[in-house]
Amino acid sequence: MALVWPFIIALGVIIAILTNIVFFMWAEFKIAGRVVDRYGPMETGRFHGWLQSVADVIKFLGKEDIIPANVDRLIFKIAPFVGFVPVVMITMAIPYTAKLIVRDLDIGVFYIVALSSFTFISMIMGGWASGNRFGFLGAFRAAGQLLAYELPLGLSIAGVVMLSSTLRLMGIVEDQTVWNFAIQPIGFLVFLVAMQVELQRSPFDLAVAESELVAGYAVEYSGMRFALFQVGEFFGLWGLSSLFVILFLGGWHGPFLPDIVWFFIKFYAVFLFLAFSRVSVPRVRPDQLMALGWKVMLPAALLNILITAAMIILVPHYKIPLALTEFAIVIAALFLMRRAVK
């Protein structure tokens, strides 16, 4: 039974994610509609179009898989799987409660960060192999922005690892008597922005930018191969949002309610934030995105590490002074930004 139980949990996690993907699609349609004063899907399924995303899944299953004549066929075929399989593997290391986890890894944080980088490789492969200028440009946009934000993402996690003195995700959750976002607001904000860039979600979806590049790196894909890119995006959303909850929002900790309920309350709160930001913030220009990554996010992540290390070494009870110092820096930065805008 000890060998069978992880497989049962893994199957349950995959089924839960696939079910939630259908809900995510519908919810984003409805949220996008409400933001622009529309209703969103209303017909398919009658009650607020709740079957629209199911119909979209069936449509993808029935579409013809077209491979253009001028592509590199081997790389073109395997590119969606190179991006999809690693993000599925990420979800296997996420602890949803103290007992509900497929595998508790001693290097869980490093494992997730390492596998998340395969998304960028699959985009490069797909865009280059397509033999299409839009796909090629989208692939190199993806390379530029993901390379620019991999460092801030990893460095923002380093501060949390320093606080907990472990790379185990369960150890990080167990160490959070106070949620880490209250102790490390700089790391919290850096991870939140870098996560959206890693997920290629608007306003940072420059690699697909339909108004400029049609569909970017995926422009020549159709049918299930295109669907794999989309499903991989939602698996990545699940994995990084869950990691965000674990690192900064206390994981499954919370009063009164069961652990699993608290985890998903926090998880869906993160999803709602990402969904609203996707439809309420205009897409940034490539030069603006690069400037934000290299000139703001990376220095902020390094500053977060420097302050955390200094407090741990110099101050006996460092968490409150660390929190006050970082909040003061965040408030000062927001004030300076406001003055600069004026």
Tens digits of per-residue pLDDT, 53-63? 778 778 777 77
- In this structure, of 163-172, 217-226, 244-253, 296-305, the range with the lowest mean pLDDT score is 217-226
Tens digits of per-residue pLDDT, 103-160? 778 888 888 888 887 777 888 888 788 777 777 777 777 777 777 888 888 888 988 8
Tens digits of per-residue pLDDT, 308-341? 888 888 878 888 888 888 888 888 888 877 766 5
80 burial level (CB within 10 Å; 0-12, 13-18, 19+): buried
**Amino acid 215: pLDDT:** 65
Does residue 213 carry a pLDDT above 60?
no
* CA distance readout (Å), 195 to 241, 275, 323: 8, 13, 22
Does residue 42 carry a pLDDT above 80?
no
Distance CA 35, CA 41 (A): 14
**Amino acid 1: pLDDT:** 54
**Amino acid 118: pLDDT:** 78
**Residue corresponding to tokens 């400029």:** 212
Query: Are the C-beta atoms of residues 17 and 91 closer than 8 Å to each other?
Result: yes
Tens digits of per-residue pLDDT, 183-201? 889 989 999 888 888 887 7
**Amino acid 220: pLDDT:** 78
Q: Is 46 left (phi over 0), alpha (psi -120 to 50) or beta?
A: left
Instruction: Report which residue type is found at 91.
Output: T
- Tell me the backbone φ, ψ of residue 126, rounded to 5 degrees: -65, -45
**Amino acid 210: pLDDT:** 58
Tens digits of per-residue pLDDT, 215-244? 677 777 877 788 788 788 888 888 888 889
Q: How many CB atoms neighbour CB 328 within 10 A? A: 11
Instruction: Return the structure tokens found at 16.
Output: 């839960």
- In this structure, of 33-47, 105-119, 253-267, the range with the lowest mean pLDDT score is 33-47
**Residue corresponding to tokens 């101050």:** 315
**Amino acid 2: pLDDT:** 58
**Amino acid 325: pLDDT:** 86
What is the rounded average pLDDT for all residues in the chain?
81
**Opening angle at CA 340, ends 338 and 342, nearest 5:** 70
**% the chain with pLDDT above 90:** 1
Average pLDDT over residues 16-26: 81
**Amino acid 131: pLDDT:** 74
